[in-house]
Structure formats: structure tokens, C-alpha cells
Amino acid sequence: MKAIVFDVFGTIVDWRSSLIHQFGELEKELGIDLPSEALADQWRQRYAPSMDRVRKGEIPWTILDDLHRESLVQLLDQHGIALDEATIDRINLFWHRLTPWPDVQRGLQRLKEQTIIGTLTNGNVSLMVDVARHAQLPWDMIFCAELFEHYKPDTEVYLGACRLLRLPPEEVMLCAAHNADLHAARALGMKTAFIPRPTEYGPSQSKDLEAEEAWDFVADDLVGLSEQLIRDRRRA
């Protein structure tokens, strides 16, 4: 195994707490009431359906930033929140400033010492560059849907990253907090690593609380994953 690619939203960054915090700061700045938790949760709920419209050919290729903005406009209208275009643009950039989980920076640095590390995300390039800089993520490469004009779980995303790395799928591992993502990668011959993020969706989270299949690696966090890989290589 020569490279690890990572899902980002939920696996690497805590999008929910980050969005709620930023909505709270905007609420204080504008002096208006904003249902921060509801906005964060409902915005994320529109994530997969918006990408499915692209995947099914209902709309042409559209980057995630633009899908996010379209969903945001609909969501604000649903809540009867009237904001100017500049403020809507600012809110859409909340996704560019997401906080990593506590283990991430240390874990990625340790993993980077052992192998190539990169993203494998539905976010577009500029979004992922901003997230990486904000969260101080030491990627070797950003692989994302925009490069392949497909969204996960389309085959083109997973195999596209392997192709650009010039590695066969069996030498590339996907690390994710989402069993469905790992299932898609494994079906193409990639290695898999599961990291649980049981509070990604808040206190009522009911899915992805544990590994649902016998993935190649299961660890509590990225530091634990790095330790498992070291032990595995010593045994080899």
C-alpha cells in the first residue's frame, strides 16, 4: 500500500460544529436570530440530493460550491430569512473554514511520514485548498470530484485518483468515516480504513457509528491508524 486518500467532510473536518459556530458569529454580527443548528443540519441534508442531480444527468456538471449556494438560497427562503447576495456569498464560504477533529493534524503528519496522503472528496479544488490552509492539513495532493467531473460514489472518482497516482487500486487505501464510501472503494479493489466519527451529525447520529464490514483497518482515530500501519509493516 503506497498511498492513502481521505474523505474530508466528516472524516477529517467537523463540518457541523464549524457551521454552527459560524452561523452563531454571523447572528451576533447582524443582530438577527438564526436557527444555527437547523441551518447546518438541513444544509447538509441537501448535500447528497444536490449531487445526485448531477450524477443522474438532470443538470450539467456543477461544482460543490455552486450546489451548496443553490441549496443555501432555498434553505434561507424556507426559513423566511432575507439576506443580500454578498451575505449569502459569505455564508457559502463557511464550508471553506472547517475545523479538523482533534486527532487529525498529528495523525496526518504521522501518516505522511509513511506514505503519500491526499484527499478524495466531493469538494471542488478551491474549496479543498481553503480547507487545507485553514485547518493546516499537510496533503501531498488534492484529489476531488472537480478533477473527474463526477461525484462519489461514481467509479471515475476512485479510479481517477489511482490513475493520477499511477498506482493500481490495491496499492491505494481510502480512509473514511462512512461505510458506504468504503464499500464503493473496496468494490474497485482499493484498500479500506474506517475511522468512526460518532458525533459528525450531532448527538442524535444513528449511522456510521461503527464499522459495518471487515475493512482492512479499523482505528479509533488517525493516530491509531498510523500505529496500526507501523505494526503491520513491521510484521511484513
Average confidence score pLDDT of the chain: 97
Average pLDDT value for residue range 20-32: 96
Ranges of each domain in the chain: 3-14+98-235, 15-96
The CATH homologous superfamily of the domain defined by 3-14+98-235: HAD superfamily/HAD-like (3.40.50.1000)
What does the pLDDT read at residue 236? 66
pLDDT, tens digit (0-9, with 9 covering 90-100), for 52-83: 999 999 999 999 999 999 999 999 999 999 99
Q: How many residues does the chain have?
A: 236
Average pLDDT value for residue range 161-176: 98
Helix axes 15-30, 85-92, angle to 10 degrees: 150
Q: What CA–CA distance (Å, rounded) separates 108 from 11? A: 12
222: pLDDT strictly greater than 80: yes
Average pLDDT value for residue range 125-137: 98
Give the list of residues 6+ apart from residue 140 with CB closer than 8 angstroms, or none.
112, 116, 117, 118
What does the pLDDT read at residue 234? 79
Q: Which CATH number fits domain 15-96: 3.40.50.300, 3.90.1150.10, 1.20.140.10, 1.10.150.240?
A: 1.10.150.240
CB 176 within 8 A of CB 11: yes
CB 211 within 8 A of CB 194: yes
Average pLDDT value for residue range 216-235: 93
Task: Report the predicted TM-score, pTM, of the whole model to 2 decimal places.
Answer: 0.96
